[in-house]
Chains A and B, each alone.
Chain A
Amino acid sequence: DADVTQTPRNRITKTGKRIMLECSQTKGHDRMYWYRQDPGLGLRLIYYSFDVKDINKGEISDGYSVSRQAQAKFSLSLESAIPNQTALYFCATSERDSRYEQYFGPGTRLTVT
């Protein structure tokens, strides 16, 4: 089984809808991250969490919110989806002291029409 799983893998939704993307990990890592990937822009950090009680905004947090329900679970919500949130979303984890290695999930392809 994959160490970092994301659900759903693909989602099409309409403008204005609320949507939640979920991430679970079995690696036992404290740190979890949400990124979006767009062509030509690479991976951009949306939110990150160092533990259940520590959540921080990343580079592009506007329009998104997160919830760290447990050490193993980190959810990303779009309260009112808009078309320019169409992207590939990745969840990642890392060990507490790691300065370079993050472990990524398989991604969720989100389309907002």
Chain B
Amino acid sequence: QKEVEQDPGPLSVPEGAIVSLNCTYSNSAFQYFMWYRQYSRKGPELLMYTYSSGNKEDGRFTAQVDKSSKYISLFIRDSQPSDSATYLCAMSARAGSARQLTFGSGTQLTVLP
């Protein structure tokens, strides 16, 4: 079983829709939870991160972490065609783990104009 599971999609939505992207994980040591966005033919870029449980909002993006369920989500409101990309969740444990990131397999999102 993979440490991090992510629905690969692909996911296609109309412009303006609310998008929900999700990951589950099995390692209870994970404390930092990240979402990276990867455009076609580019490397991933950090979009958002949260520490431990809770919500974090940044413009149209909201990241949620539920450590009791080992489940994280990224919500995109009022989705735009420019949001079309692959979204990768990533996680890391506290200091002492060599600060390695464990990535999900990515969800490919297309927002149709």
Contacts and interface: CB of A to CB of B under 8 A. Distances in A.
A92 B46 contact: no
Contact of B95 (A31, A56, A99, A100): A99
A101 B45 CA distance: 9
Interface of A, helix, strand, loop or mixed by DSSP: strand
A94 interface: yes
Interface string A29-56: 0010000000011111100101000001
Interface residues of B, number: 26
B100 A48 contact: yes
Contacts of A81: none
Contact of A106 (B32, B43, B101): B43
Given A43-B88, A48-B98, A100-B32, A106 B42 contact: yes
B8 to A, nearest CB: 6
B32 A99 contact: yes
A4 interface: yes
Contacts of B73: none
B100 A42 contact: no
Given A42-B106, A43-B88, A99-B95, A104 B100 contact: no
Nearest to A4: B43
B44 A104 contact: yes
Interface of A: 4, 31, 40-45, 48, 50, 56, 58, 90, 92, 94, 98-102, 104-107
Given A45-B100, A90-B43, A100-B90, 11 more contacts: A42-B6, A42-B103, A42-B106, A43-B88, A56-B98, A90-B44, A99-B31, A99-B32, A100-B32, A104-B43, A107-B42
Interface of B: 4, 6, 8, 31-32, 34, 41-46, 49, 88, 90, 92, 94-95, 98-101, 103-106
